[in-house]
A = this chain, B = another copy of it.
Amino acid sequence: MTSRPHRYRALAQALAEDLRAGRFPAGSRLPSVRQLCETHRASLATVTHALHELEDAGLIEARARQGFFARATPAPGPLPTGGVALALEARRERLMALAASRPDWLSLGHLALPPALLPLAALRRLTTQALQQDAALLGQGSVAGSEALRGQIARRAPRMGCAFAPEDLVVVQGESEALQLCLQLVARPGDVVAVASPAPLRALELMACLGLEVLEIPPQGGRQRWPAALARALRTRRVAACVIESGAGRVDGAGLDDADHQALAALLARHALPLIECDMMGELYRGAYRPRPLKAFDADDRVLYCGSFACTAGPGLGLGYVASRRYGLRLRAARAVQGELLPALADRVLARFMAGEGYERHLRRLRKQLALQLRAYEQAVLRHFPAGTRLQVGEVGYALWVELPAGLDALALLARAREQGYSFVPGAVFSTGTAFDHCLRLSARHPLDEAHRRGIEVLGALACTLASTVACVNTAVAAPCGPRRAGRERKLATVRGSETAGC
Contact = CB atoms under 8 A, between A and B. Distances in A.
A346 B137 CA distance: 13
Copies of the chain in the assembly = 2
A185 to B, nearest CB: 8
Given A1-B188, A128-B131, A340-B310, A274 B78 contact: yes
A477 interface: no
Interface string A67-104: 00000000111111000010000000100110110000
Contacts of A41: 270
Chain A interface helix/strand/loop/mixed: helix
Contacts of A346: 343
A78 B330 contact: yes
B272 A40 contact: yes
Contacts of A220: none
Contact of A337 (B99, B114, B121): B99
A187 interface: yes
A78 to B, nearest CB: 4
Interface string A158-194: 0000000000000001111100000011111111000
Interface string A329-347: 1101110111111111110
B336 A316 contact: no
A418 interface: no
Interface string A297-336: 0000000000000100011111000000010011011101
Interface stretch (A198-206, A371-379, A400-408, A430-438): A198-206
A430 B227 CA distance: 43
A140 B189 contact: no
A75 B1 contact: no
Which of A77, A173, A205 has the largest number of chain B CB atoms within 10 A? Answer: A77
Given A209-B210, A240-B6, A241-B78, A340 B17 contact: no
B341 A310 contact: yes
Interface in A406-425: none
A135 B131 CA distance: 15
A457 interface: no
Given A202-B337, A315-B344, A338-B206, A2 B188 contact: yes
Contacts of A186: 78-79
Contacts of A271: 7, 10, 58, 75
Given A124-B131, A135-B120, A140 B1 contact: no
Interface string A50-72: 00100111100100000000000
A306 to B, nearest CB: 13
Contact of A205 (B2, B5, B272, B337): B337
A288 to B, nearest CB: 28
A316 B329 contact: no
A272 B56 contact: yes
B112 A138 contact: no
A141 B315 contact: yes
A2 B76 contact: no
A187 to B, nearest CB: 6
Given A1-B333, A93-B330, A7 B344 contact: no
Contact of A141 (B120, B205, B316, B333): B316
A458 interface: no
Interface string A9-26: 011011001000000000
Given A239-B6, A315-B343, A115 B131 contact: no
A7 B272 CA distance: 8
A85 B211 CA distance: 16
Given A6-B238, A118-B138, A141-B318, A1 B78 contact: no
Contact of A201 (B76, B121, B337): B337
A78 B333 CA distance: 11
7 contacts: A6-B240, A10-B273, A10-B274, A55-B272, A78-B186, A78-B187, A310-B340
Q: State the 6 A-B residue pairs at the shortest beta-carbon distance, nearest first.
A: A189-B211, A141-B315, A211-B211, A10-B272, A174-B340, A115-B139
Interface of A: 1-2, 4-7, 10-11, 13-14, 17, 40-41, 52, 55-58, 61, 75-80, 85, 93, 96-97, 99-100, 112-115, 118, 120-121, 123-124, 127-128, 131, 135-141, 173-177, 184-191, 201-202, 205-206, 209-211, 238-241, 270-274, 310, 314-318, 326, 329-330, 332-334, 336-346, 502
